[in-house]
């Protein structure tokens, strides 16, 4: 379902970025990069209220002609960005949420690994397989 | 290398090597030479005799390699002769290549002759490691080769730490010895792992195992080995020795496990080793190792961080960042496998799943060992503590100790948990509770092997406890029945021969009272009289005094005379304590009627000589009784004073409490806003 999945660290550098290799991947990287501004905007907008009330799922960040970009932020300011093909007939919001939830769970599992230093790139095979499962469904 | 070989080839016939052969031979030679060049003392004398600058292969590794070719010893001898090693005394490159070629010839069935090598031959086959086989020799026995690596898994793992410390020293040890020694005694069977070998052998063999993965991944590095020389070429040296060991390994037994799962099965010995390592990190086998601790431990294995990360991913099934015992064993096993060149599996093999491992191994061992420790220690005192350590369950406070035993008397796992809970809770309460609950818990845990041991201990201890418990409480039975907890506490104090607490202080007064009348051996009325005073019950005294009156009145005035001095004593002891007066009031009232006769009594006694004469025999007894009476009365007075003082204190405390309560009430409306 997703064409590109990215995990961005708190300092806005990518921990993990993967896209369907068919197209120009750089384009996706660029889209993810630009979406970071939108994410920050959303965070700051909600941040005025109590942090507890801020929802992790940010929803649609911005749509483009071909793609839609969704965002999700964890409490430790790690961002998940997902690029979805617009032609894919309306993926329901719940599905996107569930995908982000899976991402978050996998990310937590990665963090639990003592050999993983926070801030490193994610090389976990379990994480990879999970992302693959999300991306494969596009077909 | 080849150039040098060609240059140094003075003693042997000209060799025509194909490219593939050249590659193989050079690599083999590098290994053997590297091993030889590595250890200063390792090389046989031949190496020492070599011309400086010439790289030679030590006879030992070469011999191992040749043996790996599975040719009969005779043939090998011939080959060595032919290749010229015996002549020159060492295995130079030329000799080595010739030997290899001869081996190839022999393996293909050709007679071992110099002429044989002139024709093209297939590559010599050695029982080499899987990597080598795949790459170079196309060894059909490569599977066996891989299996053969398994026994060294353990050996390596055993000496994990030692390798770290003595890595450098290991190389100097005779690598030639170990491979020779190990194969006959350590068939590659998984179960018959060379754990039994001395650690020296293990070290060397494991050291040889060490570079296997490196070798697998970096075959290109090998040719550099001999060139770089001894000091800086530890890894290549490792590789050479490693391959040697592998080659040796291959020869004997190919019968080892042919099952695909075999590499991932954990043997008993391995399991024990892992459990011991677990214990070294975390003494409680049922608890888990935190991530950081495990990370430090596994980092010592010198695997790369990504690999360790992947191994962790595989083994930490519940992804909680901590390793339980089965998870730890699985991780350890994967590390061992990886170190021995096994590629890591895509997923956790079924034999390494925590459930499988738990089912296969842990409970009997874990709890057997635990209960062994229990059996060693005092069962009464330490069992609850050990069980507490064992259980992760939180404490539930059980009210009375009969209750948990009832809860516990069923045979489910949940019940076992409850028993553990009960056990844990009892540890918080008095010890006798633990003992009383132990038989109940032990009855439940039929499924666990070690529990019967605890049963035996706990049952005996409990019987003893109960026996012990029964003896002291008999004197004051009534107070115990009212307080069940208090009873347990009393039992607790019973077992601890140290200070009895305040509740046990109840004991002295009541039992003290009955013995008092014992010294009195006089007639019954006197018994009654004596009993009357210590007990201090007015009613009883009244009754007794009334009963006393009649016999006294009925009896001779001598008895009255006897009673009079006692009564005189009574008034003396009366003034300090009011209760005593109370006690004696009825007596006085009862004995008022006796007063006239008593007043008459002393007068009559004083003047009654004939009375005194008659009373000689009973006077002694009377004196004895009187002394006893005095003592009893004094004690009684003391206790009465204590009683009055305590009552006064109680009143004061009551007043204070009332005052405080008033203050509290006054303060309350102030604070509530």
Show the 3-state SS of B371-418: HHHHHHCCHHHHHHHHHHHHCCCCCCCCCCCHHHHHHHCCCCHHHHHH
Instruction: Reduce the DSSP state of residue B202 to 3 states and report it.
Output: helix
Task: Report in angstroms the alpha-carbon separations of B513 from A86, B263, B567.
Answer: 99, 80, 20
- Please name which of B242, B223, B230, B224 lies closest in space to residue B52, comparing C-alpha atoms: B230
Task: Find the CB nearest A112 among B308, B310, B319.
Answer: B319
- Could you tell me how many CB contacts below 8 A there are between chain A and chain B? 37
Decide if pLDDT at A114 tops 60.
yes
- Please name which of B514, B513, B517, B511 lies closest in space to residue B475, comparing C-alpha atoms: B511
The verdict on B320 touching A (C-beta cutoff 8 Å) is yes
Q: Is B312 within 8 Å of A113 when comparing Cβ atoms?
A: yes
Q: Is B313 within 8 Å of A124 when comparing Cβ atoms?
A: yes
- Please name which of B195, B372, B348, B361 lies closest in space to residue B278, comparing C-alpha atoms: B361
> In what side-by-side order are the strands of the sheet with A14-19?
A14-19, A2-8, A79-85, A67-73, A57-63
pLDDT value at residue B453: 45
Average pLDDT, rounded, for chain A? 83
Chain A positions touching B308 (Cβ under 8 A) are 115
With a cut of 50, which residues of chain B have pLDDT below it?
A: 1-12, 36-53, 129-259, 364-462, 465-471, 473, 477, 479-483, 487, 498-599, 601-602, 605-606
Chain A positions touching B309 (Cβ under 8 A) are 113, 115-116, 123-124
Q: Where are the alpha helices (DSSP H) in B84-159?
A: 85-88, 93-107, 130-132, 142-158
Task: Find the CB nearest A113 among B290, B313, B346.
Answer: B313
pLDDT value at residue B654: 94
The verdict on B291 touching A (C-beta cutoff 8 Å) is yes
Decide if pLDDT at A121 tops 80.
yes
- Global pTM value: 0.36
Provide CB contacts within 8 A for B562, sequence distance 6+: B526, B618, B622, B625
User: What was the ipTM of the complex prediction?
Assistant: 0.85
Query: Contact B458/B434 with Cβ under 8 angstroms?
Result: no
Handedness of CA B106, B110, B116, B117 (dihedral sign): negative
Separation of CA B264 from chain center: 27
Chain B residue with minimum CA distance to A114 = B291
d(CA B624, CA B621): 5
Q: Is A113 within 8 Å of B316 when comparing Cβ atoms?
A: yes
Place of tokens 């369907």: A20
Q: Pick from A105, A114, A129 the residue to mutate for testing the B interface (most B CBs within 10 Å).
A: A114
Task: Find the CB nearest A123 among B306, B312, B321.
Answer: B306
Q: Is A115 within 8 Å of B316 when comparing Cβ atoms?
A: no
Q: Is B305 within 8 Å of A115 when comparing Cβ atoms?
A: yes
The verdict on B40 touching A (C-beta cutoff 8 Å) is no
The verdict on B313 touching A (C-beta cutoff 8 Å) is yes
d(CA B142, CA B324): 35
Burial of residue B43 (number of CB atoms within 10 Å: 0-12, 13-18, 19+)? buried
For residues B167-181, b (16+ Cβ closer than 10 Å) or e, as one string?
eeebbebbbbebbbb
Residue B597 has phi, psi (to 5 degrees) of -70, -30
Pairing of strands A14-19, A57-63: unpaired
Tell me which DSSP letter residue B446 carries: -
Residue B611 has phi, psi (to 5 degrees) of -65, -50
pLDDT value at residue B194: 41
d(CA B415, CA B445): 9
Provide CB contacts within 8 A for B579, sequence distance 6+: B536, B640, B643, B644
Query: Contact B580/B636 with Cβ under 8 angstroms?
Result: yes
Place of tokens 């795949």: B134
Return the C-alpha torsion angle B560, B561, B562, B568, nearest 10. 100
Task: Find the CB nearest B291 among A108, A114, A124.
Answer: A114
Chain B positions touching A115 (Cβ under 8 A) are 295, 298, 305, 308-309, 312
Provide CB contacts within 8 A for B637, sequence distance 6+: B573, B576, B577, B580
Q: How many angstroms away from the CA of B96 is the closest CA of chain A? A: 45
Q: Pick from A108, A109, A111, A113 the residue to mutate for testing the B interface (most B CBs within 10 Å).
A: A113
The verdict on B328 touching A (C-beta cutoff 8 Å) is no
Chain B residue with minimum CA distance to A107 = B319
Q: Pick from B291, B307, B313 the residue to mutate for testing the A interface (most A CBs within 10 Å).
A: B313
Place of tokens 């799922």: A57
d(CA B218, CA B235): 11
Q: How many angstroms away from the CA of A118 is the closest CA of chain B? A: 13
The secondary structure element, H or E, covering residue A80 is: strand A79-85
A47: confidence class by pLDDT, cuts 50, 70, 90: low
- Report the largest interatomic distance among the alpha carbons of chain A, rounded to a whole angstrom: 42
Q: How many angstroms away from the CA of A53 is the closest CA of chain B? A: 27
Q: Is A113 within 8 Å of B321 when comparing Cβ atoms?
A: yes
The verdict on B319 touching A (C-beta cutoff 8 Å) is yes
- Helices B379-390, B431-444: crossing angle, 10 deg rounding: 60
**Tokens representing residue B377 in the block:** 């220690």
Query: Contact B444/B408 with Cβ under 8 angstroms?
Result: yes
Chain A positions touching B306 (Cβ under 8 A) are 123
d(CA B197, CA B195): 5
End-to-end CA distance of chain B: 97
Task: Report in angstroms the alpha-carbon separations of B613 from A56, B606, B609, B620.
Answer: 113, 12, 6, 13
Decide if pLDDT at A103 tops 80.
yes
Chain B positions touching A112 (Cβ under 8 A) are 291, 316, 319-321
pLDDT value at residue B62: 72
Please list the residues that pair with A14 across neighbouring strands. A8
pLDDT value at residue B57: 60
Chain B positions touching A125 (Cβ under 8 A) are 310, 313, 346
Task: Find the CB nearest A124 among B290, B298, B309.
Answer: B309
Q: Pick from B296, B309, B316, B331 the residue to mutate for testing the A interface (most A CBs within 10 Å).
A: B309
Tell me which DSSP letter residue B253 carries: -
Instruction: Reduce the DSSP state of residue B212 to 3 states and report it.
Output: helix
Residues of chain A whose C-beta is under 8 A from some C-beta in B? 108-109, 112-116, 123-126
Q: How many angstroms away from the CA of A33 is the closest CA of chain B? A: 27
Task: Find the CB nearest A114 among B310, B321, B346.
Answer: B321
Task: Report in angstroms the alpha-carbon separations of A117 from A34, A85, A113, B38.
Answer: 26, 33, 9, 38
Task: Report in angstroms the alpha-carbon separations of B471 from B434, B479, B510.
Answer: 19, 15, 16
pLDDT value at residue B206: 42
Chain A positions touching B321 (Cβ under 8 A) are 112-114
The verdict on B288 touching A (C-beta cutoff 8 Å) is no
Residue A20 has phi, psi (to 5 degrees) of -65, 130
**Tokens representing residue B361 in the block:** 């191994």
Q: Is A124 within 8 Å of B305 when comparing Cβ atoms?
A: no
Taking phi first (over 0 means left), then psi (-120 to 50 degrees means alpha), and beta for anything else, what does residue A77 get? left
Task: Find the CB nearest A114 among B292, B310, B346.
Answer: B292
Chain B residue with minimum CA distance to A124 = B310
Provide CB contacts within 8 A for B98, sequence distance 6+: B12, B13, B15, B82, B83, B84, B117
pLDDT value at residue B7: 42
Please list the residues that pair with A85 across neighbouring strands. A67
Q: Is B313 within 8 Å of A126 when comparing Cβ atoms?
A: yes
Query: Contact A100/A6 with Cβ under 8 angstroms?
Result: no
Q: Is A126 within 8 Å of B305 when comparing Cβ atoms?
A: no
For residues A67-103, b (16+ Cβ closer than 10 Å) or e, as one string?
bbbbbbbbeeebbbbbbbbeeeeebeeeebbebbeeb
Separation of CA A60 from chain center: 11
Q: Which long-range contacts (CB under 8 A, 24 or more apart) does B511-520 make?
A: B511/B475, B511/B476, B512/B635, B516/B628, B516/B632, B516/B635, B519/B624, B519/B628, B520/B625, B520/B628
Tell me which DSSP letter residue B91 carries: B
Query: Contact A16/A122 with Cβ under 8 angstroms?
Result: yes
What average pLDDT does this structure show over A98-106?
90
Decide if pLDDT at A119 tops 80.
yes
Chain A residue with minimum CA distance to B310 = A124
Q: Is A108 within 8 Å of B319 when comparing Cβ atoms?
A: yes
């Amino acid at each position: 379902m997703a064409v590109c999945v990215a995990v961005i660290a708190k300092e806005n550098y990518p921990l993990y970025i993967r896209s369907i290799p068919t197209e120009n991947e750089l384009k996706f990287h660029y889209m993810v990069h630009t979406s970071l501004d939108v994410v920050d905007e959303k965070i700051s907008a909600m941040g005025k209220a109590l942090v507890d009330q801020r929802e992790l799922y940010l929803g649609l960040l911005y749509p483009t002609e071909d793609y839609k970009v969704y965002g999700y932020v964890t409490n430790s300011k790690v961002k998940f960005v997902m690029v979805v093909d617009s032609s894919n007939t309306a993926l329901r919001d719940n599905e996107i949420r569930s995908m982000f939830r899976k991402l978050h769970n996998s990310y937590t599992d990665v963090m639990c690994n003592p050999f993983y230093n926070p801030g490193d790139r994610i090389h976990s095979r379990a994480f990879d397989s999970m992302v693959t499962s999300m991306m494969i469904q596009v077909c | 290398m080849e150039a040098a070989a060609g240059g140094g080839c003075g003693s042997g016939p000209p060799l025509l090597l194909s490219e593939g052969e050249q590659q193989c031979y050079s690599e083999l030679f590098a290994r053997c030479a590297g091993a030889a060049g590595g250890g200063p003392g390792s090389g046989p004398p031949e190496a020492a005799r070599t011309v400086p600058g010439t790289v030679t292969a030590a006879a030992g590794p070469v011999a191992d390699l040749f043996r790996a070719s599975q040719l009969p010893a005779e043939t090998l001898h011939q080959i060595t002769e032919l290749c010229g090693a015996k002549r020159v005394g060492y295995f130079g490159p030329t000799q080595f290549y010739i030997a290899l070629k001869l081996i190839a010839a022999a393996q293909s069935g050709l007679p071992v002759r110099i002429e044989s090598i002139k024709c093209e031959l297939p590559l010599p086959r050695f029982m080499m490691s899987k990597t080598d086989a795949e790459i170079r020799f196309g060894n059909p026995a490569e599977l066996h080769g891989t299996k053969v690596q398994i026994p060294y898994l353990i050996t390596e793992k055993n000496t994990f730490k030692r390798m770290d410390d003595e890595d450098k020293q290991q190389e100097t040890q005779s690598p030639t010895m170990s491979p020779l020694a190990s194969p006959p005694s350590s068939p590659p069977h998984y179960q018959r792992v060379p754990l039994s070998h001395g650690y020296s052998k293990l070290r060397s063999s494991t050291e040889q195992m060490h570079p296997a993965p490196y070798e697998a991944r970096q075959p290109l590095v090998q040719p550099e080995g001999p060139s770089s020389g001894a000091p800086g070429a530890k890894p290549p040296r490792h590789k050479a020795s490693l391959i040697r060991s592998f080659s040796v390994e291959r020869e004997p037994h190919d019968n080892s496990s042919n099952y695909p799962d075999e590499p991932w099965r954990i043997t008993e010995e391995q399991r024990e080793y892992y459990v011991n390592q677990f214990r070294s990190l975390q003494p409680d086998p049922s608890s888990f190792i935190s991530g950081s601790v495990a990370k430090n431990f596994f980092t010592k294995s010198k695997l790369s961080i990504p690999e360790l990360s992947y191994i962790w991913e595989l083994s930490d099934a519940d992804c909680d960042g901590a390793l339980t015992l089965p998870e730890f064993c699985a991780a350890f096993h994967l590390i061992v496998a990886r170190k021995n060149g096994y590629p890591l599996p895509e997923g956790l093999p079924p034999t390494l799943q925590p459930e499988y491992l738990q089912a296969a191994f842990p409970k009997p061992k874990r709890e057997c060992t635990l209960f062994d420790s229990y059996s060693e220690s005092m069962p009464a005192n330490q069992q609850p503590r050990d069980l507490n350590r064992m259980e992760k369950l939180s404490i539930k406070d059980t009210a009375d100790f009969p209750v948990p035993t009832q809860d516990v008397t069923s045979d489910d796992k949940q019940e076992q948990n409850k028993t553990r809970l009960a056990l844990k809770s009892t540890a918080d309460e008095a010890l006798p509770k633990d003992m009383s609950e132990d038989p109940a818990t032990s009855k439940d845990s039929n499924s666990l092997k070690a529990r019967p041991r605890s049963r035996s201990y706990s049952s005996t201890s409990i019987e003893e406890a109960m026996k012990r418990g029964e003896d002291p409480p008999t004197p004051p039975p009534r107070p115990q029945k009212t307080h069940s907890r208090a009873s347990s506490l009393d039992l607790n104090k019973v077992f601890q021969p140290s200070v009895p607490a305040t509740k046990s202080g109840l004991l002295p007064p009541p039992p003290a009272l009955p013995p008092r009348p014992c010294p009195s051996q006089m007639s019954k009325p006197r018994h009654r009289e004596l009993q009357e005073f210590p007990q201090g019950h007015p009613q009883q005294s009244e009754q007794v005094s009334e009963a006393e009156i009649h016999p006294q009145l009925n009896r001779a005035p001598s008895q009255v005379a006897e009673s009079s001095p006692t009564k005189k004593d009574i008034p003396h002891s009366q003034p300090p304590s009011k209760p005593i007066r109370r006690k004696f009031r009825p007596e006085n009232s009862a004995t008022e009627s006796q007063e006239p006769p008593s007043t008459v009594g002393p007068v009559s006694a004083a003047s009654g000589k004939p009375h005194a004469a008659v009373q000689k025999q009973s006077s002694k007894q009377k004196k004895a009784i009187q002394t006893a009476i005095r003592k009893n009365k004094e004690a009684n007075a003391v206790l009465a004073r204590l009683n009055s003082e305590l009552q006064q204190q109680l009143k004061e405390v009551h007043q204070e409490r009332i005052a405080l309560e008033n203050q509290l009430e006054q303060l309350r409306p102030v604070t509530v806003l």
